[in-house]
Amino acid sequence: MSVLSKIAEIEAEMARTQKNKATAGHLGMLKAKLAKLRRELIEPSGGGGGGAKGDGFEVNKVGDARVGMVGFPSVGKSTLLTKLTGTFSEAASYEFTTLTCVPGMIRYKGAKIQLLDLPGIIEGAKDGKGRGRQVIATARTCNLIIIVLDCLKPITHKRLIEHELEGFGIRLNKKPPEITYKKKDKGGINFTTTVADPKVDLDTIKRVLGEYRVHNADIHMRGDYEVDDIVDVIEGRCIYIPCIYAINKIDQITLEELNVMSRLPHYCPVSSFHEWNMDGLVEMVWKYLDLTRVYTKPKGRLPDWQDPVVMPSDRCTVEYFCNKLHKAMIKQFKYALVWGASAKHRPQRVGKEHMLQDEDIVQIVKKV
């Protein structure tokens, strides 16, 4: 029996099984089996020919962040790329106009954001249909995903695309679960949680771990999580990416329908043909990327306002800033002078662990 047949069989059994506490262990075991089979599909164990693994398109990662546009054929991704970046991507009224990945560059607030127009995906992309695996593998390398949807059928397309991406280990607009998983040599399964009545119990966890042939492990949950989250932690191949749903072709719907769509979370209504709300989409991209700009200041001169160093907000330490400038700089680092929101007084003398904030000015002082 092929891997795809086994996946279909397990999915059918899961659909038949009622969801309650009595069947939680059985469903957990099925989900673990499904995750293993999907991993096998993405990373075949055999020697295989070229492209057997889920390799993406060969596009060099340039700029400060990478944003990928994913969607079904003919939803307006190519027109969106052309209007946002000025890069020509062929657009036509027939499906599958774009057959490879077309990169473009958005320059916004001093940052360079690479925008990728990925070929349209079809249902079953995660299982290798069309060029689905290549598209989704490239999407895994992005800092942000824009799912471009047709305004006439947004919910249907949204669910299908999310299902395809989740099958490839991409979790949209979710934070990594606070679950600690550690294998050990003996002592059985030890399960602890900070929640009084968790959604999963020890029996369910034992059945899930049993599928991976793990009989001695410590699992600690800092919150109430589903079986899916535990499977994700054990698999260790899931990535968590922020996502924006760009509803395109809004010129074809009524104002009342547009008002309903604009209230939904993570949604951004646009019209690439008429160039409506392009600035709103770029502003939303900037907000979701959560980037910090830091300006360099050479000794005795004014700061360089034209070319900031752009970093992720959760990693913007002085050490990371030095490494962005040059890998050898941290070895000669003595201290830094900082002006801006993160400084208590101006300038403040700080070490390499100091966390910088947006639009700070930094002067590095080296060892003599």
Stretch 167-196: mean pLDDT: 90
Q: Answer whether residue 363 shows pLDDT above 90.
A: yes
What does the H/E/C string look like for the chain? CCHHHHHHHHHHHHHHCCCCCCCHHHHHHHHHHHHHHHHHHHCCCCCCCCCCCCCCCCCCCCCCEEEEEECCCCCCHHHHHHHHHCCCCCCCCCCCCCCCCEEEEEEECCEEEEEEECCCCCCCHHHCCCCHHHHHHHHCCCCEEEEEEECCCHHHHHHHHHHHHHHCCEEECCCCCCEEEEECCCCCEEEEECCCCCCCCHHHHHHHHHHCCCCCEEEEECCCCCHHHHHHHHHCCCEEECEEEEEECHHHCCHHHHHHHHCCCCEEECECCCCECHHHHHHHHHHHHCEEEEEECCCCCCCCCCCCEEEEHHHCEHHHHHHHHCCCHHHHEEEEEEECCCCCCCCEEECCCCECCCCEEEEEEECC
Stretch 1-26: mean pLDDT: 83
Query: Closest by alpha carbon to 184, among 219, 223, 143?
Result: 219
Confidence of residue 52 (pLDDT cuts 50, 70, 90): very low
Confidence of residue 47 (pLDDT cuts 50, 70, 90): very low
Q: What is the pLDDT of residue 49?
A: 43
Q: What is the pLDDT of residue 96?
A: 53
Stretch 169-174: mean pLDDT: 91
Q: Answer whether residue 354 shows pLDDT above 80.
A: yes
pLDDT > 70 fraction of the chain, expressed in percent and rounded: 89
Q: What are phi and psi of 31, to 5 degrees?
A: -65, -35
**Distance between CA atoms of 72 and 74, rounded to whole angstroms?**
7
Other beta carbons within 10 Å of 368: 5
> Contact at 8 Å (CB) between 133 and 125?
yes
Confidence of residue 61 (pLDDT cuts 50, 70, 90): confident
Q: What's the alpha-carbon Rg for the chain, to the nearest Å?
A: 24
Q: Answer whether residue 151 shows pLDDT above 70.
A: yes
Q: What is the pLDDT of residue 261?
A: 82
**Distance between CA atoms of 28 and 41, rounded to whole angstroms?**
20
Beta pairing class for 111-117 and 102-108 = antiparallel
Q: Answer whether residue 50 shows pLDDT above 50.
A: no
Stretch 217-237: mean pLDDT: 90
Q: What is the pLDDT of residue 44?
A: 57
Query: Closest by alpha carbon to 266, among 280, 238, 246?
Result: 246
Structure tokens at 358: 């947006």
Q: What is the pLDDT of residue 192?
A: 92
Confidence of residue 365 (pLDDT cuts 50, 70, 90): very high
Stretch 42-61: mean pLDDT: 57
**Distance between CA atoms of 119 and 181, rounded to whole angstroms?**
37
Q: What is the pLDDT of residue 15?
A: 87
Give me the residues paired with residue 189 across strands.
Answer: 217
- Tell whether pTM > 0.85: no
Tell me the Ramachandran region of residue 135: left when phi exceeds 0, alpha when psi lies from -120 to 50, beta otherwise. alpha
**Distance between CA atoms of 333 and 329, rounded to whole angstroms?**
6
Q: What is the pLDDT of residue 127?
A: 58
Q: How far is CA 175 from CA 3, 41, 99, 240, 284, in A?
A: 30, 25, 32, 6, 19
Identify the top-confidence range among 131-135, 167-171, 293-297: 293-297
Name which of 36-50, 71-85, 248-262, 292-306 the model is least confident about: 36-50
Q: Answer whether residue 230 shows pLDDT above 80.
A: yes
